[in-house]
Structure 1
Amino acid sequence: MKSYSPILLFTYNRPRHTRQLVESLLANKEAAESPLIIYSDAARDDSSQVGVEEVRHYLHAISGFGSIEVIEREENLGLARNIIDGVTTQINRYGRVIVLEDDLIVAPYFLRFMNEALDMYKDEPRVGHIQACDFTKDATLPDTFLIKWTGSWGWATWERAWQHFNPDGKALLQQLEERRLTRTFDFDGTYRFTRMLRRQTEGKNNSWAIRWNASLFLADILSLNVGRSLVQNNGFDGTGTNCGSGGLYDSALWLKPLPVERISPIAENLEARRSFARYYHRTNCFWAKALRRIKRTLKGDFGA
């Protein structure tokens, strides 16, 4: 019988989002044979306590998976520590993992794709990450392609690749600067990933994802990405750690099977990289940001 990869689900205090994600997972036939391991972070303050308790009550009522394990944190770790610890623990146990946060919705063929991709590239050292969300909406992208960039919305990896993860943002930033790779890391200057990493080192954000991105980038390890999105981010409603995209990262779910075919040679798809650079330039240039700010102001949103 086929062995399915464990699904790691990271939750906090959003019961509605958590329920929507679990229901979307259950629409995948592979869920019935997949281990589900849920990490429930503890409340950061009194205002979060009710939501955390409601989420935990729901988690213990879930059924329909191959097995279910709920790990309730006794202290608030925050998203970064929760994910780094959870992924490290379970990848050492299983050798590979599929990772989801509570504000995502997945397509009915998400688990099939992730498991097939994990099998297909398990012994390919230059592929270290699988990303199942596409927000560029670029119809010219192929179904799957290789790129030096790791998205964090519905992803998977193997133990051999996670060993490259370096939680030391200062060391990663130093390497990027010494090797003069910051502009390439930033998609030719169209998105400030280097700034995001620098802000992490300054304590202005606590992103695990930028450190994972930089770790594989510096190791010259590629990600298998999709041109048809099997994941939708449902968290840009003001409830999440990072929210308020203004629709920049909306994606329509691809509701049909997405084939996994071995890409040869194992090399970055440069046209896909150019597509990302065009997307980031179009959405992050001065005038695009100014227009979004005006629209937010007209709606009464006076946030940053």
Structure 2
Amino acid sequence: MLAPIILFVYNRPEHTIKTIKALSENELAKESSVFIFSDAPKNKDSSEKVNLVREYIDSLKEKEYFKSITIKKAKLNKGLAKSVIDGVSEIISEYGKVIVLEDDLITTSDFLIYMNGALDYYNELDKVWSISGYNIPIEFPKDYKSEIYYSYRGCSWGWATWKNRWNQVDWDIKDFAEFKSSRNKRNQFNRGGRDMANMLDAQMDGTIDSWAIRWCYTQSKKDLLTVYPVKSRIKNIGLDGSGTHSAITSHYDVEIDKSLKQCIYSDPELDQNILKNFQNHYGSRLHCYLSKQKRSIKKLLRM
């Protein structure tokens, strides 16, 4: 059985149209069921664009892009973190596995083949936490043969997982005090990027609202891995300042190959050079950004 696709949309009609159009051109699109979660506007300024997005997704059933489309419109604004946690929990509890996208991700035409194949291949491999469709622009050793690699960090830009992994997450991070005071635990978490411990700190003090850092925290505690493709199946078009949670940057830009052949899955050894390049790609930029955000919030609180 193919995994259901969950798409989270909000107030970016142009991005949403491009995301859905690319997804509809996938080879398995007409055999796939799609669940679209549309968040309600946070304020009056967002209402017009949210309505435009909803008008567009309402028109999709006539286009017959997919096997089926189910649209779920929130009546009150949840924010991305709660939307994702609630939406994924609802669908994965019924289907046992999911493929998840947000409204600013362009997929290759083989994305659904890659994701469904990986879900089947790695399902029984207990060390695998999730599947990523995106790959960051890092260098690989010249002698690296596999078409996938493992990382300690989950990805939120086109990803998939199974019910028995998703249900392990403690979204409240009840052991945060112990984590915060443990250098070893913080270093272990930062294997997936030098920003991760600081990002969890920011989550717990209310500076950010992220489902993904909490998802990654459970992954780190259990010492599990995410499967990444050497050649990305995702291009993010939302790092243009249009997103609620994203800034303008080209740090994560990739070009996707439209002539990709079906991925050959494998279970390679962890490659320390890849892990180091991966870790180094994350860190200072986000840390600086969060520091600025904290200073701005403190300044506002003093006014």
Taking structure 1 as the reference length, the TM-score comes to 0.86
Q: State the partner residue of 1:67.
A: 68
Q: How far apart, CA to CA, are the structure 1 residues paired with 2:45 and 2:256?
A: 33
Letter in 1 for 2:213: I
Displacement of 1:183 in angstroms is: 1.9
In the TM superposition, what are the counterparts of 1:23-102 in structure 2 within 5 Å?
23-62=21-60, 63-102=64-103
Letter in 2 for 1:276: F
**Structure 1 residue 168 corresponds to structure 2 residue 161:** no
- Backbone CA RMSD of aligned residues: 2.3
Displacement of 1:47 in angstroms is: 0.6
Q: Does the 8 A contact of 2:140 with 2:274 survive in 1? A: no
Q: State the partner residue of 2:244.
A: 241
Letter in 2 for 1:89: E
Displacement of 1:26 in angstroms is: 1.0
SS in 2 for 1:129: strand
Q: How far apart, CA to CA, are the structure 2 residues paired with 1:199 and 1:191?
A: 14
Q: How far apart, CA to CA, are the structure 2 residues paired with 1:192 and 1:173?
A: 18
Q: How far apart, CA to CA, are the structure 1 residues paired with 2:155 and 2:286?
A: 21
Displacement of 1:226 in angstroms is: 1.5
Q: How far apart, CA to CA, are the structure 2 residues paired with 1:196 and 1:285?
A: 8
SS in 1 for 2:191: coil
Letter in 1 for 2:229: V
Unaligned 5+ segments in structure 1 are 291-304
Q: How far apart, CA to CA, are the structure 2 residues paired with 1:77 and 1:119?
A: 32
Q: Does the 8 A contact of 1:103 with 1:235 survive in 2? A: yes
**Structure 1 residue 143 corresponds to structure 2 residue 144:** no
Unaligned 5+ segments in structure 2 are 290-303
2:160 to 144, 156, 162: 156
SS in 1 for 2:149: strand
Moved more, 86-95 or 118-127: 118-127
Letter in 2 for 1:71: K
Q: Does the 8 A contact of 1:37 with 1:69 survive in 2? A: yes
Displacement of 1:237 in angstroms is: 1.2
Q: Does the 8 A contact of 1:21 with 1:105 survive in 2? A: yes
Letter in 2 for 1:269: D
Q: State the partner residue of 1:262.
A: 266
Q: How far apart, CA to CA, are the structure 2 residues paired with 1:211 and 1:257?
A: 34
Displacement of 1:168 in angstroms is: 1.5
Q: State the partner residue of 1:302.
A: none
Q: State the partner residue of 1:271.
A: 273
SS in 2 for 1:157: strand
